[in-house]
């Protein structure tokens, strides 16, 4: 039975408890405050009771530590009886190293998973160092510490359910597998439940969106290579950036790639669009896309920014944390916005600017809106760089929104907004990219499965081992895709006598004449793109 004590002439609280027939008495280093009562059993004023509560909490912690030490000593005693030596402990700062050497069925861990895991362990180590500096070994970690760490992760980082569960699974598993080596029995992460995961899936692109993305990438060789490869192979961004010529067989039109995430080797046919892109590249190095490889290894964020510039140009806008269109970063202005800006210049108050200034505003705007850069406008108008920049700044003030392009390369302007690049997770401060590079992978899977490609073949290309993973995370056909695919595959009876898509195309081609060629051509393309012929 543990109890608190007050000693005459001492300002400190003391604790007394018994463990395995041994009596422990400790100065708790908690000062007795307020008006002191005559005995521990009597109540005191508010300050006295507050200090008593602190002392009781400290006493409870010491009792728990003594129990843990008792369990540890039991393990040590049993180990000495069996082997003649004591169990060695595992320092907190060696957790990752010991965990990475645990034997595994696959025999290895991917580099990406290693980096992610090392980050999780580093955050756990840093948290213990800041909040529990006396804890130096795995066996000293208590359940309360584990609970406090998970709570701190959620509060400070706004973890989504999936990331939180991954952190919990990793640390819980490491304590489970290292308990014998570390000489402890209890797993401090036992009893911490996982949370429901709100999965936000990448959305596949439509045929029209794919064309817009490829067109927007034409002026950026790096992005064009990456986007076409991702679209034609369903490979992840890192695998595309580090694609090697040794994995490319242009003669047989096949890729054989070992994926970084899973370590699985996949075989992927080279479609004509990708073949044309690869065939025109020089084969004088190890990597197919050496510039992308360098950026991915040295500045991976630069790859993301560059790709996002293309997706913005294709009509996918980015919102900031307040739900407003992000103004920082590459600024892509739609034709509608340009028209609105020009109208604002034409309607500006004549008293605000002279006639010459108004004319120059329009001349600068028209040239800049046509796609020319500031450097190209200077000789055409005979102005200095400072003058052109000043006029553009005035135009932005008049329009009320950004006009200046900040992308490094000129890109086609989108016809309108097609969607959002990111979507916010519920209960999380982080956003997930739903219309970025990884959506190309979802697009490949959706198009393949909708067209009737067996799921086993799709798994062979993507490197997945579970059919459930492919269906749940990557197969997201829209209603028109589903209707077209089902109509083409279902028996004629279910179609109520209506011709299938292929039958409609044959009928159009059979009846085609030189006079109807243009109209019939439009009908065929409409059917191929999933729309009913008219």
Does position 195 have pLDDT exceeding 60, yes or no? yes
Mean pLDDT of the chain: 76
pLDDT classification of 415: cutoffs 50, 70, 90: very low
User: Do the domain assignments include residue 248?
Assistant: yes
Instruction: Identify the weakest region by mean pLDDT among 95-109, 163-177, 274-288, 496-510.
Output: 496-510
Give the pLDDT confidence score for residue 422 in this predicted structure: 56
Two tokens, residue 259: 């994926």
The mean pLDDT value for 508-516 works out to: 81
Does position 361 have pLDDT exceeding 70, yes or no? yes
Same domain (yes/no): 467, 484: no
Same domain (yes/no): 25, 166: no
The mean pLDDT value for 233-254 works out to: 88
Does position 351 have pLDDT exceeding 50, yes or no? yes
Higher pLDDT, 42 or 424: 42
Two tokens, residue 418: 């097609």
Residue that is written with structure tokens 């034997």 in the block: 103
The fraction of the chain above a pLDDT of 70, given in percent, is 70
Same domain (yes/no): 211, 291: yes
Instruction: Identify the weakest region by mean pLDDT among 176-190, 423-437, 441-455.
Output: 423-437
The fraction of the chain above a pLDDT of 90, given in percent, is 4
CA–CA distances in Å: residue 300 to residues 296, 454, 465: 4, 34, 28
Same domain (yes/no): 318, 462: yes
User: Do the domain assignments include residue 45?
Assistant: yes
pLDDT classification of 496: cutoffs 50, 70, 90: very low
Angle at 497 between CA 495 and CA 498, to 5 degrees: 70
User: Do the domain assignments include residue 461?
Assistant: yes
Same domain (yes/no): 506, 438: no
Same domain (yes/no): 13, 79: yes
User: Do the domain assignments include residue 533?
Assistant: no
Give the CATH number of the domain where residue 248 resides. Answer: 1.10.443.10
Higher pLDDT, 423 or 359: 359
Q: Which domain holds residue 71?
A: 3-83
User: Do the domain assignments include residue 257?
Assistant: yes
List phi, psi (to 5°) of 7: -115, 140
Domain edge (last residue) among 353, 370, 399: 399
What is the C-alpha separation between 143 and 305, in angstroms, rounded? 42
DSSP string, 97-125: HHHHTS--SSS---HHHHHHHHHHHHHHH
Same domain (yes/no): 100, 239: no
User: Do the domain assignments include residue 98?
Assistant: yes
DSSP alpha helix (H) spans, 104-220: 111-131, 143-157, 161-182, 207-216
CA–CA distances in Å: residue 317 to residues 307, 333, 421: 13, 10, 6
248-249 vs 254-258, strand pairing mode: antiparallel
Does position 256 have pLDDT exceeding 70, yes or no? yes
- Would you call 319 helix, strand, or coil by DSSP? strand
Burial letters for 93-106: b for 16+ Cβ neighbours within 10 Å, e otherwise?
Answer: ebbbebbeeeeeee
User: Do the domain assignments include residue 238?
Assistant: yes
Domain edge (last residue) among 24, 58, 83: 83
Residues 6+ apart with CB under 8 A from 520: 508, 509, 511, 512
Q: What is the pTM of this model?
A: 0.46
Give the pLDDT confidence score for residue 231 in this predicted structure: 85
pLDDT in tens, 46-74: 888 889 888 888 888 888 777 766 665 66
Same domain (yes/no): 284, 424: yes
pLDDT classification of 187: cutoffs 50, 70, 90: confident
Same domain (yes/no): 127, 157: yes
Does position 461 have pLDDT exceeding 90, yes or no? no
Same domain (yes/no): 266, 347: no
Angle at 139 between CA 147 and CA 111, to 5 degrees: 75
Higher pLDDT, 468 or 160: 160
pLDDT in tens, 265-278: 888 888 888 888 89
What is the C-alpha separation between 199 and 222, in angstroms, rounded? 30
User: Do the domain assignments include residue 231?
Assistant: yes
Does position 214 have pLDDT exceeding 90, yes or no? no
Give the pLDDT confidence score for residue 68 in this predicted structure: 64
Same domain (yes/no): 164, 15: no
Give the pLDDT confidence score for residue 409 in this predicted structure: 38
Same domain (yes/no): 270, 215: yes
Give the pLDDT confidence score for residue 207 in this predicted structure: 78
Instruction: Identify the weakest region by mean pLDDT among 81-90, 325-334, 380-389, 418-427.
Output: 325-334
The mean pLDDT value for 460-468 works out to: 58
What total number of domains does the chain contain?
5
pLDDT in tens, 301-338: 778 888 888 888 887 776 555 555 554 444 555 666 77
Domain edge (last residue) among 83, 108, 132: 83
């Amino acid at each position: 039975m543990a109890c608190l004590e007050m000693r005459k002439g001492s300002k400190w609280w003391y604790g007394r408890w018994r463990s395995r027939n041994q009596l422990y008495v400790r100065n708790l280093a908690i000062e007795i405050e307020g008006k002191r009562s005559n005995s521990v059993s009597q109540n005191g004023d508010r300050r006295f009771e507050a200090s008593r509560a602190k002392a009781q909490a400290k006493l409870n912690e010491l009792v728990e530590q003594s129990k843990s030490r008792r369990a540890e000593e039991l393990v040590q005693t049993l180990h000495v009886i069996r082997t003649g030596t004591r169990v060695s402990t595992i320092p907190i700062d060696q957790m990752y190293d010991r965990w990475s050497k645990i034997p595994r069925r696959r025999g290895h861990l991917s580099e990406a998973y290693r980096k992610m895991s090392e980050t999780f362990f580093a955050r756990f180590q840093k948290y213990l160092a800041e909040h529990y500096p006396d804890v130096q070994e795995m066996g000293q970690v208590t359940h309360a510490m584990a609970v406090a760490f998970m709570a701190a992760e959620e509060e400070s980082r706004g973890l989504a359910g999936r990331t939180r569960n991954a952190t919990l699974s990793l640390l819980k598993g490491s304590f489970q597998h290292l308990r014998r080596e570390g000489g402890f029995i209890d797993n401090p992460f036992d009893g911490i439940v996982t949370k429901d995961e709100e999965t936000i899936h990448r959305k596949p692109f439509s045929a029209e969106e794919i064309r817009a993305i490829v067109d927007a990438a034409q002026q950026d060789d790096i992005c064009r290579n990456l986007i076409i490869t991702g679209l034609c192979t369903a490979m992840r961004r890192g695998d595309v950036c580090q694609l090697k010529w040794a994995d490319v067989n242009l003669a047989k039109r096949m890729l054989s790639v070992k994926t970084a995430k899973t370590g699985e080797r996949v075989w992927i046919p080279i479609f004509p669009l990708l073949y044309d892109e690869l065939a025109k590249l020089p084969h004088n190095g190890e990597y197919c896309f050496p510039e992308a490889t360098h950026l991915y290894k040295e500045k991976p964020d630069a790859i993301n920014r560059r790709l996002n510039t293309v997706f913005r140009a294709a009509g996918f806008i980015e919102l900031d944390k307040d739900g407003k269109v992000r103004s920082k970063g590459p600024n892509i202005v739609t034709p509608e916005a340009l028209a609105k800006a020009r109208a604002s210049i034409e309607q500006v108050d004549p008293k605000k600017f002279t006639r010459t200034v108004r004319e120059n505003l329009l001349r600068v705007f028209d040239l800049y809106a046509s796609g020319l850069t500031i450097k190209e406008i200077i000789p055409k108008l005979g102005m200095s760089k400072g003058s052109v920049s000043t006029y553009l700044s005035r135009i932005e003030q008049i329009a009320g929104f950004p006009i200046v392009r900040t992308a490094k390369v000129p890109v086609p302007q989108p016809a309108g907004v097609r969607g959002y690049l990111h979507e916010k997770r519920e209960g999380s401060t982080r956003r997930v990219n739903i219309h970025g590079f990884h959506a190309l992978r979802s697009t490949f899977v959706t198009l393949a499965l909708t067209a009737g490609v067996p799921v086993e073949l799709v798994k062979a290309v993507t490197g997945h081992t579970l059919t459930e993973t492919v269906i749940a995370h990557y197969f997201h056909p829209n209603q028109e895709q589903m209707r077209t695919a089902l109509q083409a595959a279902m028996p004629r009876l279910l179609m109520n006598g209506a011709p299938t898509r292929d039958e409609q195309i044959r009928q159009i081609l059979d009846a085609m004449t030189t006079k109807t060629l243009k109209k019939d051509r439009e009908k065929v393309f409409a059917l191929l793109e999933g729309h009913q012929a008219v």
